[in-house]
Structure 1
Amino acid sequence: MHFLHKPLPYFIFGVLFEYFTTLSSPVTCRCKNISSRYGHCVTSQDGVRELVCFVPLGLSMIAWECVWTPRKHTVYQTHRYTLIIEQKNSCKMYANISGTSQTISLSKKLNMTAHVFDESDPKSCTKSFFRGSPKKLVRCGPPSNVHFNRHSRQLDIQASWRKEENKYIALYSVRYKNLTSESWKEPPVQSKDNNRCTLGNLNSSLSYAVQIQCVANYKCTQCPWSKSFTVPPELNDKPVIEMVEDFPQTKGSRLVIIKWKFAASELVEGYSVTVGKASGEDPIETFNTSRSLLRLALSHSAYHLTITALNRAGTSPTAQRTIPPLDDKVLYGKLNVTFNGNTSFTVSWVDDLIKTYSCFSVEWWRRGEKAAYKSFYEDENNYEVIQLNEPLEQYKRYTFTLHTRPDKEPCNLKFINNSESTYGSVQAFFTEGSPISAPGNISTNVSQSSVVLKWTAVPEEDNRGFLLGYVLHYTDRLQDGTDAETNITVDAASTSYELVDLKNSTVYRVQLSAFTSAGMGVRSSAAYFETKPASLTVSSVIAGAIVGVTLLLLVVYLGSQLLKRAKKLLWPSIPNPGNSNAIQKIDGVCDLELLELINRQKEEEGDSNSLHVVDGREEMSPVSNLHSNADSCLHFNTDYEESQGPSLSTIATDSRAQDPTSDTITSIPTDIRQTDPVLISTVAHQCQPLAFLSDYTTMELFQQAMPQCVPDTTSSSLSSLEPQGQSSQSEDTY
């Protein structure tokens, strides 16, 4: 086309020229020659096929057209088709057609027959055949607009045709298949009307291919299938709103950043975000974006937000969020509200706003309720009287906010993003009252002289005014019936207080009440607590411990000294007699005298059979012998002497009595001499050296207990008493 960049008249002329050139291109032919020339061509499913001729509805039987489908396996880049149209005795041939369609001319009163031949392959020629009446060749083409929406395993289809076709189409059919399937599901589904059709029992996670055709009627005799539409899987999940964050800007505006995510993001082609004021003021603006992030410049008013994921199959469920109004602490302007009764109020401002703005909007609402709004034009005063459709309620808190708009009249909201800013906000009661409920859940933490009280605040709806604070009523006079109590005022922002300087071991009663500018509210139920008894402080406990430890150490020290002194008095230290010089001398003298006695006896008599009495000593030291069982030995000797008669010492005494000047024993009775050695030996073996029960003894007692050394004269006297022929070599051991 050479007129695409030319003015419109040239373009239209070019189209008409090409059209009529195409119509004049056919060559007249004879019907008899068709069979002789193309008799070798055959009909094949692999060759050219599906030839059909028609005229679109509304073109007044002028623009006839024939179309066909080429062979399946094409090995040639250049196609050569020949189309022949027969009507009664006329024949027209369109040769060397490279495409798959051809515009033709027909007489609308005569039936027609069409042949198409494919001569691309010199070795094989294929053909297709079509026959019909021009009056029944009117076609209503595929729909010009199709909309899909998948939800709940269903597919809703909305289809529309061109204006001239749409009024003749009453119904249409839909066929579908799984995108990976080869065959269509049969039978096709027919619509309920000319606009809407629903396919049910689908797999929500699969993609489908869909084709649409109108239902043929007397006006639309031909209804071909449309091209195949690909319908993606169903979007079942809601978008998840991750963040809605405010960033206050200057002059009462804020930047709101909204961020979200979608689970099956690969199926999403975009998102639709709608934003509107919570008061309901128009408009509700829609933002389409391919990202999961949106930035908006908004006023401090409240907004409703919805987010929906989109694809060709439709939309996902909607995620919703309310953007709350921003705190009035960041606003720059001071706003005042005066009530003119319960059906009117006056809003005024301090700054001279009319120099910059002439359009304003005021919003007012109660907590938890939808805001009301009123926009107005003001260019003279710094106030506006607002008339209400519904009266204001008593004891209810209202919030009033004033917005400014840069656009001139009309002062309605033009759009959402960057359209207005907030000047100021104020809260007010039309009529205040005293609280109708008391603080609750009073708890105590008691010590000896104080208590920490905690409570929950009065609910907002029960304050009926601006809460100014709390009053604590407490007393310890519970029995005398007096009304003496102490009242303490606590700030409204506090929910705890510590009472100090209380008496220990005392029961107290406490009550709480809230108050507003209208007066004191009701009291809470009485709470009782008892302070703890007096107890030692930490410092006194530490001082007592130090004194106790000091006394304990002193007692231990003095006690040890007293024990040492008592031991010296009651149990003196006993020296070891064995280590004394006296004992050493006694042992040495006795041993020498005994040895001299034995040797002298042997020299004088030379008889080894004589009996000698020798005091034997054990090898142990005299001290250890002395501490043996001496008492039992003494008692044993005494008893033995009493039972056996006169002892040897008695006989010696008697002898001395006869001769007082003699130091030796001159005669001993025969019976005594015979038994005496046995007696002495027995005593020597049975009696151990003396041992004293007391830990203390004197040297004098020790010397008395020790056996005396026998003088030489005595030894010789005793030796003369021994019988001849007896051995004296037996030795007693102590």
Structure 2
Amino acid sequence: MKNGKLLLHIVFHEVTLKLPQIFVAVRQKTRREIKHNYELDAVTTMHCLHKPLPYLIFGVLFGYFTPLSSLLQLPPVTCRCKNISSCYGHCVTSQEGVSELDCFGKHLRFSRIIWKCVWTPVKKQTQRYTLCIEQNKYSKTHTNISETSQTIILNKRFNMTAHVFDNSDWKSCTKTVFRGSPQQLVRCGPPSNVHLKRHSRQLDIQASWRKEETKYIRLYSVRYKELNSLQWKEPPVQSKDRNRCTVGNLNSSLSYEVQIECVANNKCTQCPWSEVFTVPPELTDTPVIEMVKDSRPQTKGRRLVIIKWKFAASELAEGYSVSVGKASGEEPIETFNISRPLLMVTLSNSAYHLKITAQNRAGTSPAAQSTIWPLDNKDLYGKLNLTFNGNTSFTISWVDDLIKTYSCFSVEWWTRGNKAAHKSFYEDENNYEVIPLHEPLELYKRYTFTLHTRPDKEPCNLKFINNSESTYGSIQSYFTEGSPISAPGNISSSNVTQSSMVLEWTSVPEKDTRGFLLGYVLHYTESPNDRTDAETNITVDAGSTSYELVDLKSNTVYQVQLSAFTAAGMGVRSSAVYFETKSTASLSMGGMIAGVAIGVTLLLLVVNLGSRLIKRAKRILWPSIPNPGNSNAIQKIDGVCELELLEAINRQKLEEEEGDANSLHIVDSREKKYPVSNLHSSDSCLHLNTDHEENQGPSETTADSAEPTKVDPQINMGLCRRDTATDSSTQDPTSDTIKPPTDTRQTDAVPISTVAHQCPQLSFMSDYTTMELFQQVMTQCVPATMSSSSSSSSL
């Protein structure tokens, strides 16, 4: 019993001594040492104790280490790579589980290689994986992995096998396997940076790899296809070197897809394709600059410049790049990347170069370029003074005390057509600065000097373009002046009279003046063939290009020459030109012709305007009144009356000539008024009137008359034409005689030769209101005289 207690005390003492080692192992996260020590203790205990008391001691130790292991949160290890088939033999391969295991090596610095395995995760939010690596006699198990990749250690001389298991469900776990040779698993790429640019139906590709891989890559390949196409163009295009590749014969208006891979070698045995790069269509149009406008803001010496442009293929452009830099070449050149075709910048009075391009992921369009010229000197607020110190330096000074506000300045100077030079300097004591020159000043050249002020302190270099410097003043000067080497040109005359003429010319070009132009001298003489005549010289201001010669003789030829002069003297004369004044006779004839022409013009104008005024006054004061006789109603009435009356008379004469006087019956019907509304349905009648009264009743046959004479029923002596449908008193047209109506009365007899024809009073609708009233009171038919050899009948 005492021996058992002693043994238990020894075991506890050994465990106590081993506890610090266990805690150190936990801190260092070395699971392998913890498991080895744990297994070693258990095996030693099992082999040393063969009696019941040792079993009891082992049980105590087991109960002691169990809570300790849970306290340290050590994962229980039940499987190793050597017994992996017994542990994970029931796991299956599934696309929905862990799959696509891939192991490879990547180059590191100092020619080292790091090995890594990656796999596709199980489609769950949280998952734990176990990775087992087997290589020759070496095996390594990585447990409780939460990521989908794991760094491993491999020996390049032996083949390797990798297993990955998911630990989500022990009963339904999944697995995947990878086998390969490390010598064939060294991978380079894909490229870390790719730059694509399209131009001239070509695609320029610049690709770069990680710094550790660059020295192993010599060439790379590019495959491409049209966007949404299924087939890649074959064969792939190979680069010229490790960085540059050009793909040609592309369609500028199409989009393309591009992939890049390195060319494999013994240092880069694997070259995977990069991601697919989409290349938009090429930008072939050039932006068109519509406006570069200067606007003067409140700050002195600065101007707000508004730049506006348009781009034809604006739907293909993702933005615009506008570069603004000083024409003198002073850096920096500031670039503005904007999304719309409008830019406003605040600049000084210096000259600037402007460049605008449209851009997208494929590159940029051709650039539109322009120059922003300086403002006039009158727009500046300061005054400068300039002194030349020989031809290698000059002194520039200013009037205002600028050093109280500014310490940094810049001066620019240039000649027309040449690039400006510049010099920045720091000044805080004097209001002047001596500027040394790298190149000597030229003779007879006009220089422009401009002084700018800058808000930033030393160093006084230009920091940026927009809203940076202000312009104080500007001055022009010649280092040395000379006389003009050319004369005014294009001399002509106008408004030539008997005693005067106006001469006009063009000025001398600035490059030929060789100094500040002070004026012109006009040389003219009366008779160019007579050398004894004195020449007249007239000085004209430099700002004038015309002059009127007066007090000239009529009908005389004058020789004229012009020359310009500067402070250095008179320049060359122009070629002689000749002008002749007008004579008195030509002037009189011309005046007379002009007077006649003016008079004729005025007369035609007065006649034209007068006739128009008279016609207009006539229309206003005496408006036109329609002629009733020209209406349609009168024409129809006259035509009907005349035709029917003539027809009746002719038939009567024909019957009288036949001698059948007994068949003549004279019928007088009572006149009936027709309303206007029944005009078209009523009869159109022609009556023989026997008296001067209008409305007579129906007539009767005289008592002493013999047997009535038979006449044609269409005549009826009254020459009536009536509608049988509307007049109930109309007789049967088949009867030989016409019966008078029952209601009759005796009328006075009138000779037939005095019978007047009368039609019923009708109201006609016409275009003339006056005719409607006039129709009701006048006789509508033309009177007719009928001669008869028989005796008169009364109506």
State whether TM-score is above 0.5.
yes
> Which residue identity is paired with 1:484?
A
1:66 is matched with 118
Structure 1: which amino acid aligns with 2:546? S
Whole-Å separation in 1 of the counterparts to 2:76 and 2:503: 106
Q: Which amino acid aligns with 2:526?
A: D
Partner of 2:699 in structure 1? none
The yes-or-no answer on 1:350 pairing with 2:399 is yes
Q: Which residue of 1 aligns with 2:580?
A: 530
Q: CA deviation at 1:85?
A: 6.3
How far apart in 2 are the matches of 1:183 and 1:230?
Answer: 15
Cα distance in 1 for residues equivalent to 2:402 and 2:524: 53
CA contact 2:108–2:114 (8 Å) conserved in 1: no
CA–CA distance in structure 1, aligned partners of residues 87 and 221 of structure 2: 39
Alpha-carbon separation, structure 1, partners of 2:187 and 2:216: 11
Match of 2:558 among 508, 515, 518: 508
Conserved 8 A contact 2:161-2:179: yes
Write out aligned runs for 1:3-42 (5 A).
Answer: 28=80
Residue 226 of structure 2, aligned match among 178, 189, 199: 178
Residue in structure 1 matched with residue 288 of structure 2 by the alignment = 240
Deviation, 1:38, is 7.4
Deviation at 1:258, TM superposition (A): 1.7
Aligned-residue offset at 1:164: 2.2
The amino acid that maps onto 2:301 is G
Distance, in Å, in 2 between the alignment partners of 1:69 and 1:78 is 10
> Which residue identity is paired with 2:449?
F
Asked whether the equivalents of residues 26 and 92 of structure 1 are also in contact (C-alpha less than 8 Å), the reply is no
- 1:443 maps to what in 2? 492
- Separation in 2 of the partners of 1:196 and 1:540? 83
- Contact 2:408 / 2:454 at 8 angstroms: preserved in 1? yes
1:163 aligns with 2:211: yes
Whether the 8 Å CA contact 1:446–1:531 is kept in 2: the answer is no
Distance of 1:92 and 1:56 partners within structure 2: 20
Per-residue deviation, residues 380-402 of structure 1 (Å, max 9, x unmatched): 22222222222222222111111
Q: 1:73-126: CA deviations, max 9, x gaps? A: x9x999999988665689999999999x543756546423457899x9xxxx99
Q: Identity over aligned residues, as a percent?
A: 70
Partner residue in 1 for 2:449: 400
What is the aligned partner in structure 2 of residue 636 from structure 1?
none
The answer as to 2:434 corresponding to 1:385 is: yes
Deviation string 1:564-617 (CA, Å, 9 cap, x unpaired) is: xxxxxxxxxxxxxxxxxxxxxxxxxxxxxxxxxxxxxxxxxxxxxxxxxxxxxx
**1:54 alignment partner, one of 104, 115, 129:** 104
Q: Which runs of 5+ in 1 are unaligned?
A: 1-15, 550-734
Indicate how the Cα distance of structure 1 residues 224 and 49 shifts in structure 2: closer, same or farther if over 3 A, else same: farther
Which residue identity lines up with residue 506 of structure 1 in the other structure?
T
Return the match for 1:137 from 185, 190, 194.
185
Cα drift, residue 138 of structure 1: 2.7
Give the alignment of 1:218-233 within 5 angstroms: 218-233=266-281
* 1:140-539 equivalent positions in 2, closer than 5 A: 140-249=188-297, 250-449=299-498, 450-534=500-584, 535-536=587-588, 537=591
Q: Which residue of 2 aligns with 1:103?
A: 150
- Label 1:303 to 1:64 Cα distance change in 2 as closer, same or farther (>3 A): same
Instruction: Please report the RMSD computed on the Cα atoms of aligned residues, expressed in angstroms.
Output: 4.2
Cα separation, partners in 2 of 1:461 and 1:127, compared to 1, 3 Å? same
Give distance in 2, aligned partners of 1:239 and 1:298. Answer: 22
Shift of 1:540: 11
**CA distance 1:397–1:459, shift in 2 (3 Å):** same
d(CA) in 1 for partners of 2:285 and 2:121? 43
Cα 1:517–1:61 change in 2 (3 A) is: closer
Residue 132 of structure 1, CA deviation: 0.3
Contact 1:146–1:158 (Cα < 8 Å) also in 2: yes
Aligned residues: 521
* Cα distance, 1:379 vs structure 2: 1.8
Q: Map Cα deviations across residues 630-649 of structure 1 (whole Å, 9 max, x no partner).
A: xxxxxxxxxxxxxxxxxxxx
The whole-number CA distance in structure 1 between the counterparts of 2:449 and 2:128 is 81
Instruction: Structure 2: state its 5+ residue gaps.
Output: 1-27, 33-72, 604-795
One-letter code aligned to 1:496: S
Q: Does the 8 A contact of 1:448 with 1:505 survive in 2?
A: no
* Residues 405-461 of structure 1: CA deviation (Å, up to 9, x unaligned): 122222222222222111111111122222121111112225332222221211111
**Superposed, which structure 2 residues align to 1:644-659 within 5 Å?**
none
Please give the TM-score of this superposition, normalised by the length of structure 1. 0.62
Q: Measure how far apart 1:322 and its partner are.
A: 1.8
1:373–1:84 distance in 2 versus 1, CA, 3 Å:
closer
Separation in 2, partners of 1:410, 1:86? 66
Contact 1:338 1:345 in 2 (8 A): yes
Cα drift, residue 176 of structure 1: 1.4
The one-letter amino acid paired with 1:169 is I
State the Cα distance separating 1:369 from its structure 2 match.
0.8
Partner of 2:730: none
Contact 2:106–2:114 (8 Å) recurs in 1: no
Q: Which moved more, 1:441-450 or 1:51-60?
A: 51-60
Instruction: Answer whether contact 2:103 2:115 (CA < 8 A) is retained.
Output: no
Contact 1:82 1:94 in 2 (8 A): yes
Q: Deviations over 1:449-495 (max 9, x none)?
A: 22222212111111111112222222323454323233322222222
TM-score normalised according to structure 2 size: 0.58
Q: Are 1:149 and 1:314, in contact at CA under 8 Å, matched by a contact in 2? A: yes
Distance 1:511 1:138 in 2: 92
Instruction: Determine the C-alpha separation between the residues in 1 that align with 2:138 and 2:594.
Output: 135
C-alpha distance 507-26 of structure 1, shift in aligned 2 (>3 A): farther
Deviations 1:227-249 (A, max 9, x none): 11111122222222222211233
Is contact 1:27-1:94 (8 Å) kept?
A: no
Q: Contact (CA 8 Å) 2:487, 2:563: kept in 1 or not?
A: yes
- Rounded to whole Å, the distance in 2 between the matches of 1:430 and 1:338 is 9
Whole-Å Cα distance in 2 between the matches of residues 405 and 205 of structure 1? 47
Letter in 2 for 1:343: T
Larger Rg: 1
Give, as a single letter, the amino acid of the residue that structure 1 aligns with 2:287. Answer: P
Alpha-carbon distance in structure 2 between the residues aligned to 1:225 and 1:413 = 46
Whether contact under 8 Å (1:343, 1:390) holds in the other structure is yes
Greater relative CO, 1 or 2 (CA 8 Å, sep 6+): 1
Range with bigger deviation, 444-453 or 295-304 = 444-453
Structure 1 CA distance for aligned equivalents of residues 440 and 76 of structure 2: 83
| CA distance in structure 1 between the aligned counterparts of 2:278 and 2:78, rounded to whole angstroms | 40
CA–CA separation in structure 1 for the residues paired with 2:280 and 2:306: 30
Contact 2:316 2:360 in 1 (8 A): yes
- Deviation per CA, 1:607-629, whole angstroms, max 9, x where unpaired? xxxxxxxxxxxxxxxxxxxxxxx
Q: Is the 8 A contact 1:346 1:384 kept in 2?
A: yes
Q: 1:95 to 1:346 in 2, by over 3 A?
A: closer
Secondary structure class of the residue paired with 2:315 = helix
Over 3 Å counting, the alpha-carbon distance change for 1:406 and 1:90 in structure 2 is: closer
Conserved in 2, the CA contact under 8 Å of 1:26 and 1:93? Answer: no
Q: 1:538 Cα shift?
A: 6.1
